Structure 1
Amino acid sequence: MHEIRKDSAPGVWLASLGEGPGKEAVRLGRKGEELHPRVIAGLGRKLSLYSAGDSPSCAGNEGGTRGALFDGLLYNRVELSLQLFGSRSSAASNADVVLEGYGRWGQEILERIRGVFALIIWDDDRDTLLCARDAVGFYPLFYAEVGHEIFFSTSIDALLAHPDVPDKVSLPIAANYLRHIYPSIEETFFAKIKRVPSGNFMNITRGTRQVKRYWDPFPSGAGVEWVGEDEVARFDFLMNQAVTRCLDLGPAGIFLSGGLDSVTVAAVAAERSRDRGMPDPLGLSLLFPHPECNEETTQKAVAKALGLQHVMVSVDEAAGPLGLILGAIRMSSTWPTPLQSVWNPLYYRLALDGKRRGCRVILTGGGGDEWLTVDPLYAADLFREMNFPGLLRLLNSFQRSYQLSLPSLVRNVLWNNGVMPLLSEAWAGSPFREPLREWMWKHLPETMRRRRLRHEQRSKAIIPSWVIPSGALCLEADRHAERNREPELAAGRKEGGFYLRMARRFIDHPLLTIEMEESFETSLRTGVPLHMPFWDRDLIDLLYRIPPDSLNKGGRSKGLVREMLARRFPDLGFERQKKVFSLNFFTSRTSRESRSAWKAIGGAPTLGGLGIIDSGLFESILFGNGADRKTQDAQWTWDVLNLEMWLRGKLSGKNEEVPVDFPRKDFRKKFSCKTS
């Protein structure tokens, strides 16, 4: 029988590094237990921990000068333990392994470990602090520097539980959220709380700080060594390994959507569970009523073919009496960051159903869209190479894989992602660009002023008029956006082409990190971890080196899994399945529920009072009395309602759903116009 790991679910904890353990007690977790710190290591500055459970794993050396905290799963603990401890390996904890490995290999330990984790190492002898999180960021790691002390946790709420950690929200970041402008990878919505980016370490030695990637599938300036067919065949092995690592936590549930990614995970999990003598996975499915995204037939057929017990819950049942929108924004008011996904409460409910039925881990198909598909910017690389047969194959694969018209595909794939990036690159690198601009400003100033005015008007037209109307906040938000502006994809050819440059931007994008952290927060709150096998580090190391034509094997996207699924489920048509989108359902449901949600929460007095929106103008447009059609976009409406309730939650100072009668008169004291 399979042995279940004790460290299956993440816990809540708070660590500090300072001159000594503080005397302040903190209340952590949903139960709010009062905890005092205990010293892990350090004779001068001390690494201390507040924790009521088994998380994180802790270790210290005999002299008390070196210590480690490790929260997460160490996949290769057995191998490393044997290498480091020999016959004593069975007694070594995750933190023991990491600390001993650090003593032998130093910072190189990060390149040797495999797992999902956040870790902290304090070396008093070298006055060195080393912090890191896993390669793809399953586990967060936040920190706040207060005077000469640094606080750490995988939970923003745990950091804010300490009385010395400021809880002010960064207004420029919150305001730019509505403009869909994201902060830097290290920033959070709180002015004094930062994050260690995924796949990075932070090393502070004698006051000198370094933040750097230790795992990089796209090394800057290096070309990709595309793999051959023999290495592509390793996909099945690595996919099995990725799922097996998740099953080490115990009986699994599968968020089964009916799409290629979740069905692949379900098929592998069912086979591996039976091979290991474990209970069959439990299928957990949401039933969407909209015909464009209703996959009920496929979901039931897959569960039946795999012999799985299957739980199906309708969207309305999962949303409950509050409905989708109001239920989601009420949940958002209690979370450390605004919810990114309106569907989160529905899957939260589904995860709790799985937990009640004995699931110790829930697997999803997350990551499949990112790693099994070819980005349309590959068209720019093909144009540059004059590879017209390749362009036709790429266009054909999109047409056969997505429910989009041919004119739309030609415009988006060939023009927007093919020709335009090349033109932008050529102009950005032209030696005539700056001399021509200077000449035109000197001899044709009125023409250049009109041109700049048109450009500014086009830029402003993208943002609705009710967002950050004017004033000091608008200026500060603009400055923050300018500081964190993403580099143009067309800036130089060093990164190995547009296709790889987009992949580089993707893994470093704050939105990916925030989404991972939202998944982790769901794990914390439900008590059952969510894992995504397609985000396994070893699997990604292969997938990013698979040539685009191999990813589109058979002339469709996700060709690596289509063939296997077609063999496994010959009657379900996976070899020709097209991508299903829920956008139209989201739009219709938001349109139906947003007005009642707006009335239920009493509008947006917080956003209006802070100057983030013109709430009167937004309300007039929402209720159909305005001409700005941007607000009719469901995403804008969701963003406003979501941010309003989240800010109210920060005003309340409590980790519970807030009443409608906020904000208070002194609410501005809870916010900062500065981002650091």
Structure 2
Amino acid sequence: MCGINGAISFNSSKFEITEPYISGMRDTMEHRGPDGAGVWVSENKKVGFGHRRLAIIDLSTSAIQPMSNEDGSIWVTFNGEIYNHADIRKELEALGKYKWKTNHSDTEVIVHAFAEWGIDCIHKFRGMFAIGIWDDKKKEMWLVRDRIGIKPLYYSIHDGRLVFASEIKALLKDPDQKRAVHEEAFYHYLSFLTTPAPQTLFDGILKLPAGTWLKVTLDGKVEEKKYWDVWDYTKPMTNKSEEEITQTIISELRESVKLRKVSDVPVGIFLSGGIDSSTNVALFSEGETSNVKTFSIGYDRDYGTYKNELHFAKSVADKFNAQYFEQRLTVDDLLGFLPNMIHLQDEPIADPVCVPVYFVSKLARDNGVIVCQVGEGSDELFWGYPTWKLKLRLQQANAWPVPKVFKKAGLSVLRMMGKKDSWPYAALQRVVEDKPVFWGGAESFTEEQKKRLLSPRLKKKFANYSSFEGIRPIWDRFHAKAWEKSDLNWMTYLDLNLRLPELLLMRVDKMSMGVSLEGRVPFLDYKFVEMAMSIPSKVKTKNGDLKYILKKAVRGLIPDEIIDRPKQGFGVPVYEWLFDKLGDEIRTELRSFARRTDFFEPDVIEEHISKSSGAQLWYLYNFALWHKTYIEMK
């Protein structure tokens, strides 16, 4: 786990890549790699790679990066882990063609695997990764992001060069990189709390989509290809019994957790006391001679919108003889962390869970752990959110034989009732326009709410536009490829392509790497994802029970009280904190932002402030702080 960066200067450009240029960008990411730093620049100053090291596998100096093969024809800078690197190494060693300088570095496996199989080597990698590769013989640079998008990779093409990095702040170190808001991405941010790939909130800076590679040549040609889509690898379990499916789930998950135990440094687990993290603890503990370390976050007291679950977490830790560490946060912890949070995020990740993720990561690192397993992905794969149940019912209700004229009449009634900016109106409008009801697991503002919120200039610019355009490519792929085009599969597939890689996984990556800790995600092993998407929807939703088939699979593995208790989710008492010290800060910041910029209608901002619309105020506040930090304070 590391921070990577690099650049290629096109032949048409006189720009020379130098070591100070690369290292200057690289060292903005020191938190991602406090264990060392490296730089390589080609003799002709056309290509350069940088690397910050967080040593996890093969701690020796021979495993430092950037790394090359024996003749320097291939160079690699790599962030992530290849969990099956030992098996690939054995396959390569059997060929007898390559000289090895490390004992068990997964980076060196990438180097020789690329030499042997070219870019197709990525199909052998089981892990999480963002990789930069320079092929000196073919004069080609390759950028690769892992299948699920667990690791980020950003790039920008400007002034005769392409520059890439694990974090946007590294790209901003380039003095020629402009700082401006991508207004279409901003419009989508107001819907999704993040920006759909390849957009970022920075105009001119892109992020490589999950499961995608980019090939760049010295003449400036850029080619992009999606090399993995889950629908290309599913094997429908239509003829399997529930017992067979549950056995497959546990078998695949056990293998996934086992792979993610591989490390030369201590590994622990984030434990919330829910099904996912408890299952991680149970499987991780199998075969262990020492007690696994678990880490939990709560708050100074129970709030109306969030009750502490620490007693559940502690009971699970006790059940599996795990070491248990906890911390309780206050509103002052949040206020003190805000500037660092905005700095670490690079672009807003408008999910307040960034706060507890940071502090639980710090708790782990302070207690000697450098790698932690996390539970992201299970809810999306196994229908785990209560809000999904409601939206699934709404989508299924659309199949009823109701003429569209009556649905349009319903819209008229809602408009007359003054409900044009309500969620029922938004859902019905989508149905009338033959669009899906579900636009993602984290929607913030409806289209009508956004139109009211925007400044007159932006209101006019986006008058005939909707954020469905941001997810339309995913919708089209779903209909072209899905073996079962069910409403639930659409919901899962959309979040696999948007909310998970660009929001949930980024909050884990940015916050954990902010304290130099690696997060691993067993439920998002790509083979586990392929298996989960092969399960028929009717099995996942049987009896209307959220996580039905996963609960059945883990019953007997973890306590029944964990399986059967109502889901709460990992949250933050933002609403209550709005009436504490945070509230004054948000009101002051948003009023000032609305006056000095041209994004929001000040009167509508005042409406949100007066209503204390908790979550939505937080989303707006995140954007305002980001803009002040990254755009205004150049």
**TM-score in terms of structure 2 length:** 0.78
Q: Distance in 2 between matches of 1:374 and 1:298?
A: 18
| Residue 582 (structure 1) shift | 6.8
Q: Which residue of 2 aligns with 1:644?
A: 624
Deviates more, 1:347-356 or 1:223-232: 223-232
Could you tell me which of 449, 456, 466 is aligned with 1:470?
Answer: 456
Q: Distance in 1 between matches of 2:119 and 2:455?
A: 48
Q: Distance in 1 between matches of 2:381 and 2:589?
A: 43
2:199–2:207: 8 Å Cα contact kept in structure 1? yes
1:181–1:481: 8 Å Cα contact kept in structure 2? no
Could you tell me which of 494, 502, 508 is aligned with 1:513?
Answer: 502
| Residue 265 (structure 1) shift | 0.9
1:488/1:60 Cα in 2 relative to 1: closer, same or farther (>3 Å)?
closer
Q: Which residue of 2 aligns with 1:119?
A: 131
Deviations 1:294-323 (A, max 9, x none): 32332222122122222232232xx4x26x
Q: Which residue of 2 aligns with 1:5?
A: none
Q: Distance in 2 between matches of 1:485 and 1:343?
A: 24
Q: Distance in 2 between matches of 1:484 and 1:510?
A: 12
Q: Distance in 2 between matches of 1:529 and 1:549?
A: 36
1:243/1:40 Cα in 2 relative to 1: closer, same or farther (>3 Å)?
farther
Could you tell me which of 214, 217, 223 is aligned with 2:230?
Answer: 217
Q: Distance in 1 between matches of 2:153 and 2:221?
A: 20
2:154–2:165: 8 Å Cα contact kept in structure 1? yes
Identity fraction in percent: 17
Q: Distance in 2 between matches of 1:529 and 1:466?
A: 41
Deviations 1:29-79 (A, max 9, x none): 36699x9994455x7674312345478743334554433322221112111
1:582/1:366 Cα in 2 relative to 1: closer, same or farther (>3 Å)?
closer
Q: Which residue of 1 aligns with 2:80?
A: 72
Q: Which residue of 1 aligns with 2:180?
A: 168
2:291–2:322: 8 Å Cα contact kept in structure 1? no
Q: Which residue of 2 aligns with 1:243?
A: 257
Deviations 1:414-472 (A, max 9, x none): 4x121315769x97xxxxx9xxxxxxxxxxxxx9xx99x99998668831675213025
Could you tell me which of 352, 357, 372 is aligned with 1:347?
Answer: 357
| Correspondence 1:608 to 2:595 | yes
Q: Distance in 2 between matches of 1:373 and 1:552?
A: 7
1:172–1:480: 8 Å Cα contact kept in structure 2? no
Pairing of 1:489-638 with structure 2 (within 5 A) = 495=482, 496-498=484-486, 499-509=488-498, 512-551=501-540, 556-563=545-552, 565-568=554-557, 570=559, 572-581=560-569, 585-592=573-580, 594-598=582-586, 601-619=588-606, 621-622=608-609, 624=610, 632-638=612-618
1:282–1:311: 8 Å Cα contact kept in structure 2? yes
Q: Which residue of 2 aligns with 1:295?
A: 309
Q: Distance in 2 between matches of 1:38 and 1:584?
A: 40
Deviations 1:193-246 (A, max 9, x none): 1111111111235654332222221139x9845472446423223212222222
Deviations 1:149-194 (A, max 9, x none): 2111111111212223333332443354235486441111111211
1:334/1:93 Cα in 2 relative to 1: closer, same or farther (>3 Å)?
closer
Q: Which residue of 2 aligns with 1:22?
A: 18
Q: Distance in 2 between matches of 1:420 and 1:500?
A: 16
Q: Secondary structure at the match of 1:247?
A: coil
1:235/1:37 Cα in 2 relative to 1: closer, same or farther (>3 Å)?
closer
| Residue 566 (structure 1) shift | 4.2
Q: Distance in 1 between matches of 2:93 and 2:155?
A: 32
Could you tell me which of 135, 138, 144 is aligned with 2:147?
Answer: 135
2:353–2:571: 8 Å Cα contact kept in structure 1? no
Q: Distance in 2 between matches of 1:421 and 1:348?
A: 43
Q: Secondary structure at the match of 2:255?
A: helix
Q: Which residue of 2 aligns with 1:198?
A: 210
Q: Secondary structure at the match of 1:163?
A: coil
Q: Which residue of 2 aligns with 1:309?
A: 323
RMSD: 4.1
| Residue 587 (structure 1) shift | 3.2
1:279/1:602 Cα in 2 relative to 1: closer, same or farther (>3 Å)?
same
Q: Distance in 1 between matches of 2:8 and 2:626?
A: 30
Deviations 1:590-647 (A, max 9, x none): 3555532235x5544234322111235423652x3xxxxxx54322211122211111
Q: Which residue of 2 aligns with 1:252?
A: 267
| Correspondence 1:233 to 2:226 | no
Q: Distance in 1 between matches of 2:550 and 2:491?
A: 23
1:283–1:303: 8 Å Cα contact kept in structure 2? no
| Residue 486 (structure 1) shift | 2.6
| Correspondence 1:417 to 2:395 | yes
Q: Secondary structure at the match of 1:158?
A: helix
| Residue 649 (structure 1) shift | 0.9
Q: Distance in 1 between matches of 2:180 and 2:371?
A: 35
| Residue 361 (structure 1) shift | 1.3
Q: Which residue of 2 aligns with 1:3?
A: none
Q: Distance in 2 between matches of 1:352 and 1:514?
A: 20
Deviates more, 1:242-251 or 1:455-464: 455-464
Q: Distance in 2 between matches of 1:569 and 1:158?
A: 43
Could you tell me which of 5, 8, 11 is aligned with 2:2?
Answer: 11
